[in-house]
Structure 1
Amino acid sequence: MAPIILLCSLLYQLCDGQPGPPDPPGRIAVVGAGIGGSAVTYFLHQQFGPQVQIDVYEAERVGGRLATLTVNSQQYESGSPSIHSLNLHMQDFVKLLGLKHRKEVAGKSAIFNGEHLVLEETDWYLLNLFRLWWHYGISFLRLQMWVEEVMEKFMRIYNYQAHKYAFSTIEGLLRSLGGDHFVNMTRRSVAESLQGIGVSQRFIDDVISAVMKASYGQPVSIPALVGAMSLAGAQGNMWAVEGGNKLVCSGLLKLTKANVIHARVTAVSLHNSEKKPLYEVQYERDGTLGSDYYDVVIIAAPLQKTGLPISFLNFQPTLPDYAGSYHRVVTSIVHGYLNSSYFGFTDPKLFPFACILSTDSPDAIFHSLESLCPVNVSVGFRRKPPQEAGVWRVLSSRPLDRKELKTLFKSYYSVQVIEWQAFPNYSTHSSSKSLPPIILHDRLYYLSAAEWAASSVEMIAVAAKNVALLAFNRWFELTEKIDQQDLMHKLKTEL
């Protein structure tokens, strides 16, 4: 009987002049092929189906900040080196693509204040806890509980997204996870938040400042939510993809059969077709100008980024300029012999650390110094001891000059330098300013707005699925799936 009832219903709609559901979009453009652009392409393909053509524009390289470079015929991560274990979308991508987790190579860390090491990790967990307690009291326990509470609330988003719920603003998404407290965490510094729960100033100056510098190259005045994401990673449970994290991006684009266009998008123009918006994406490729038309456009690249911006034409009212800039971080991949005596170890054989973080000192040469393993770790692989030439990743605020390189390394064979407009410059973003919008126009979306709440692979992957769900729900007018209040209670009731 069910097919007969369905047929009668359709005939009734036709006779009554009622329109059926809208057709899916014919073409979608995604600007940017980093983890945000690649992930949103996959989620759009998942939502709208394979019949929708998706064009992905990328001016530089697929993978964005998930990048590698070659030293002595081996590849090393030059961008985001690791992914948090709680990033469920990335875990799913790895399984979906048949990729593997890279074999973990253990290594100890230390914190350097420009003169001496203020904290050293050992091989013994209980000894590490004792040292933290001896130096900082119970500050580290208060920090751990704070981070765990934030991450527990953040994990709610995966449940919401599994039930196809989406949010039209970053504030709305955050409020659904942790109420006004989560929104306020984008307006209050990590230092203020930690002081408010009783974390000592010394712990903030020694440990928190070092983690913030290593993660974002910025001081403890950055927003609390940004800091919490970074501190969650600093507590361990990190992993990487065998062969390079960028394989996730290229794999997702290949899986969805997306059309990757290696071109720089210069403008997005609004046109109207049968009272529906149509967007013209204008681009430049190899000195030649081109354009194409789309029903939906997703911007998965920073609009605030300095350089060559995207112009938005024919929009009434005109789209606002988005204040703020991106913070420069310099990555130097050095193949050479570490100068362990700079850190107080005259005999390099006694230097036990794979990673050194620097506190926020005005005289600091670097933010972090890390011994790198290749993206393909073979069985029996070991880190190069300091008395041998190894590959080191140095993060700093500017390129290291010859004197600074000679301070950190006894000698070196090669130095490869990459300058990133890596993260939002949170220190110049006023706490009174609202977060950038997700919806720029009816079917024009800004995925990278999420970075101003927290810049991490986890946040961008979550934002990618939110934008895909939002675009789908708005296209088919599924308003009951957008900006719903009290979702925790709602989902418990449904179950």
Structure 2
Amino acid sequence: MLSRLLLSGFLILIPFSSELGNAGFVQLDGAPPSKIAVVGAGIGGSATAYFLRQHFGPEVRIDVFEKGTVGGRLATVTVNNQDYESGGSIIHSLNLHMQDFVKQLGLKYRKSVAGKMAVFNGEEIILEETDWYLLDLFRLWWRYGISFIRMQMWVEEIMEKFMRIYKYQAHGYAFSSVEELLNSLGGSGFLNMTRRSLSESLLELGVSQRFIDEVISPIMRVNYGQNISIPAFVGAVSLAGAQANLWAVEGGNKLVCSGLLKLAKANLIPAQVTAVSLQTAGESHQYRLGYSSQNEQVSEVYDIVVVATPLQQNVRSGISFQDFDPQFTEMPGSYHQTTASIVHGYLNCSYFGFPDPKLFPFSSILTTDTQGLFFNSVASVCPVNISAGFRRKPPQEAGVYKVFSPRPLEKPELKTLFRSYYSVQVTDWQAYPHYGSAQGLPPVVLHDNLYYLNGIEWAGSAMEMSSVAAKNIALLAYHRWSRQLEMIDQKDLMHKIKTEL
């Protein structure tokens, strides 16, 4: 039960449609675009290139700029000649875009390795998974009453509405803003959920404070590194996979990104984009991208540009927008720092109340929002390539662990969690938005034929969210270019689709 509730890693939960609809090429009075630029080669940018190719056809040139490594927040580190996920690590069984990508690329699902989870409050284990499903259910009921059922019904109702995106995208409909997308799915209720806290919404449903503190809070800490004050919609994204299986890609999730770029026949340009300048000729707009390549400043002109990297100040995208009126400013808000430490060593089971490591039954420990706790979770992790005879190392043997914490762990903290260790590899992520005070949802359309993908993360940050945003932007760019405005921001779409059928 808990293994379905308490999820380790950057989470990917909402189900989306992978249907492509009726893709076509621009054949109206205007010529098709000759060059399209995508800035960023994470899952959002690579999926955007893939969908743009499908909708604009084989002739358009698609350049994808990446200043770092393809994959972005999907990344691995190597320990003893084995690779481990240091970024986004798990995918929901109903993430149909991701499932379709894996199928198209001929990739394989990674073998899952069973393990139990528990919740630690800084002093003791307060909730633990057993080998008996019915016993776990009884314990949840005994400790929390029907709070679990109320939470589950709430999430299922939200997901039932959100799943309408399947049909909308399959029929080729697009949205010019995150607000329009959410409103078409769940009306004002979804928009309100981006403005009120998760704890407030759950308490209103009759979910107990104890359940929120001991079950919901640990999930938010491991998935978003934040507490239950995050918006209710983000919380629902996190909780949506409570009753579903999780999976990952054999060889590493980042293989999806490199594979999509190949399928898109995109030109990968390893360069830092430094400037986007508006070029106006009559009523038409183009964009000159300036970028640094091999210590030289280069620029090229594009008909359509998609920015698939965060533009918040603390992410330091390095992109300046020039010759726009009014002038662009950086997006409001900031990204939340999460540190992933991959530690090869011996877990200190005594810290969790098990002096004999042979009796320690858990593969993952999540934590409550307790003052003084310096980590969000610690979990025994498996390599991205799992052989037939692979087994998870028991605690009395040296294993590989992933620790999520709000900042890099200091030596005394490492010594608290581990009896001893051989190596520590630290990755500091600006992993997801910092869901603080309401700052609104960033725009999708920055200017005519200039789009911003990462605004979707402020509704919910996940691989599949970026993928559905990529599909939406590809549809939006195609319809706006070909002046098919009837396919954008349509009202009462469910009725329209039923009429079409």
TM-score band by shorter chain is: over 0.9
Alignment pair present for 1:377 and 2:386? yes
2:452 match: 446
- Code of the residue aligned with 1:446 in structure 2: it is Y
Q: What is the TM-score normalised by the length of structure 1?
A: 0.94
| Change in 2 beyond 3 A, CA 1:93/1:59 | same
**2:60 counterpart of 1:52:** yes
In the alignment, which residue of structure 2 is the partner of 1:340?
A: 349
Cα separation, 2, equivalents of 1:30 and 1:295 = 11
1-side partners of 2:480 and 2:354: how far apart? 61
1:357 aligns with 2:363: no
Residue number among 447, 456, 460 corresponding to 2:466 in the alignment: 460
Alignment of 1:382-397 (within 5 A): 382-397=391-406
Q: Partners in 2 of 1:298 and 1:171 — Cα distance?
A: 19
Give the letter aligned to residue 492 of structure 2. Answer: D
* Separation of aligned partners in 1, 2:445 and 2:70: 25
User: How far 1:253 sits from its partner (Å)?
Assistant: 0.3
Deviations 1:198-250 (A, max 9, x none): 10001111111111110111111101111111112354421100110000000
Q: Render the CA deviation track for 1:288-344: whole Å, top value 9, x for unaligned.
A: 211111000000000015224311100112224311111100000000000011111
1:166 aligns with 2:163: no
Q: Distance in 2 between matches of 1:305 and 1:362?
A: 29
Residue of structure 2 equivalent to 1:43: 51
Aligned match of 1:476: 482
The count of corresponding residues between Structure 1 and Structure 2 is 474
Cα 1:465–1:244 change in 2 (3 A) is: same
Q: Who is 1:207 aligned against?
A: 215
User: CA RMSD, aligned part only?
Assistant: 1.2
Amino acid at match of 1:203: F
- Give the alignment of 1:30-429 within 5 angstroms: 30-273=38-281, 275-306=283-314, 307-427=316-436
Give 3-state SS (helix, strand or coil) of 1:414's partner: strand
Letter of the aligned partner of 2:432 in structure 1?
F
Q: Assess, with a 3 A threshold, how the Cα gap between structure 1 residues 279 and 63 changes in structure 2: closer, same or farther.
A: same
Give secondary structure in 2 for the equivalent of 1:422. Answer: strand
State the match for 2:14 in structure 1.
none
- Partner residue in 2 for 1:10: none
For residue 149 of structure 1, report the CA deviation from its aligned partner: 1.5
Q: Distance in 1 between matches of 2:81 and 2:281?
A: 53
**CA distance in structure 1 between the aligned counterparts of 2:242 and 2:403, rounded to whole angstroms:** 17
> Are the aligned partners of 1:305 and 1:421 in contact in 2 as well (CA < 8 Å)?
no
User: What displacement does 1:74 show?
Assistant: 0.5
Identity %: 66
Residue identity matched to 2:306:
I
- Secondary structure in 1 aligned to 2:235? helix
The one-letter code matched in structure 2 to 1:37 is: G
Return the alpha-carbon distance in structure 2 between the equivalents of residues 84 and 210 of structure 1: 19
C-alpha distance 404-235 of structure 1, shift in aligned 2 (>3 A): farther
Q: Deviations over 1:354-397 (max 9, x none)?
A: 11111111211210111110101111311000001000000000
- Offset of residue 60 of structure 1: 0.6
Residues in 2 aligned to 1:73 and 1:235: alpha-carbon distance in whole angstroms: 34
Q: CA deviation at 1:21?
A: 2.6
Structure 1 position 123, deviation (Å): 1.3
CA 1:178 to 1:442, structure 2 compared with 1: closer, same or farther past 3 Å?
A: same
User: Which of 485, 489, 495 in structure 2 is aligned with 1:489?
Assistant: 495
Q: SS of 1:233's equivalent?
A: coil
Counterpart residue identity of residue 388, structure 1:
E
Return 205-214 or 150-159, whichever deviates more.
150-159
Counterpart CA distance in 2 for 1:305 and 1:93 is 32
SS at match of 1:458: helix
Query: How far apart, CA to CA, are the structure 2 residues paired with 1:196 and 1:434?
Result: 23
Task: Kindly state the Cα deviation for residue 275 of structure 1 after the two structures are TM-superposed.
Answer: 3.4
Moved more, 320-329 or 182-191: 320-329
3-state SS in 1 of match to 2:240: helix
State the alpha-carbon separation in 2 of the partners of residues 468 and 302 from structure 1. 18
**How many Å separate the matches in 2 of 1:156 and 1:245?**
26
Q: Does 1:435 align with 2:441?
A: yes
Partner SS state of residue 28, structure 1: strand
Check the 8 A contact 2:28/2:482 in 1, yes or no.
no
Cα offset, 1:274, TM superposition: 5.2
Q: State the AA in 2 paired with 1:373.
A: C
- Specify the SS of the correspondent of 2:339: strand
Q: Secondary structure at the match of 1:33?
A: coil
Question: Is the CA contact (8 Å cut-off) linking 1:211 and 1:234 kept in structure 2?
Answer: no
Deviations 1:380-432 (Å, cap 9, x if unpaired)?
311000001000000000111111001100100000000001111112xx32x
Distance, in Å, in 2 between the alignment partners of 1:287 and 1:423 is 31
Equivalent-residue separation in structure 1 for 2:313 and 2:378 (angstroms): 26
**How far is 1:190 from its partner?**
0.8
User: How far 1:160 sits from its partner (Å)?
Assistant: 0.4
Query: What is the CA-CA distance between 1:155 and the residue it aligns to?
Result: 1.4
> Following the alignment from structure 2 to structure 1, what is the Cα–Cα distance between the partners of residues 162 and 70?
28
Q: CA deviation at 1:267?
A: 1.1
> Within 2, Cα distance between the matches of 1:458 and 1:256?
18
Q: Which consecutive unaligned segments of at least 5 residues does structure 1 have?
A: 1-18
Letter in 2 for 1:340: C
AA of the residue aligned to 2:42: G
The DSSP-based 3-state class of the residue aligned with 1:364 is coil
- Output the CA distance in 1 between the equivalents of 2:104 and 2:91: 16
Report the alpha carbon displacement of residue 79 of structure 1 after superposing the two structures with TM: 0.4
Q: Specify whether residues 474 and 454 from structure 1 end up closer, same or farther in structure 2 by C-alpha distance, changes over 3 A only.
A: same
Name the CA distance, whole Å, in 2 between partners of 1:160 and 1:62.
30
Partner Cα separation in structure 2 for residue 144 and residue 308 of structure 1: 38
Task: Measure, in 1, the Cα distance between the counterparts of 2:168 and 2:31.
Answer: 26
How many angstroms apart in 1 are the aligned matches of 2:181 and 2:291? Answer: 32
Match of 1:16 in 2: none
CA contact (8 A) 1:30 1:54 kept: yes
Range 137-146 or range 232-241, more displaced? 232-241
Assess, with a 3 A threshold, how the Cα gap between structure 1 residues 163 and 308 changes in structure 2: closer, same or farther.
Answer: closer
Question: What SS does the aligned partner of 1:346 have?
Answer: coil
Whole-Å separation in 2 of the counterparts to 1:20 and 1:225 = 40
- By how many angstroms is 1:489 displaced? 1.3
User: In the TM superposition, what is the alpha-carbon distance from 1:487 to its structure 2 partner?
Assistant: 0.7
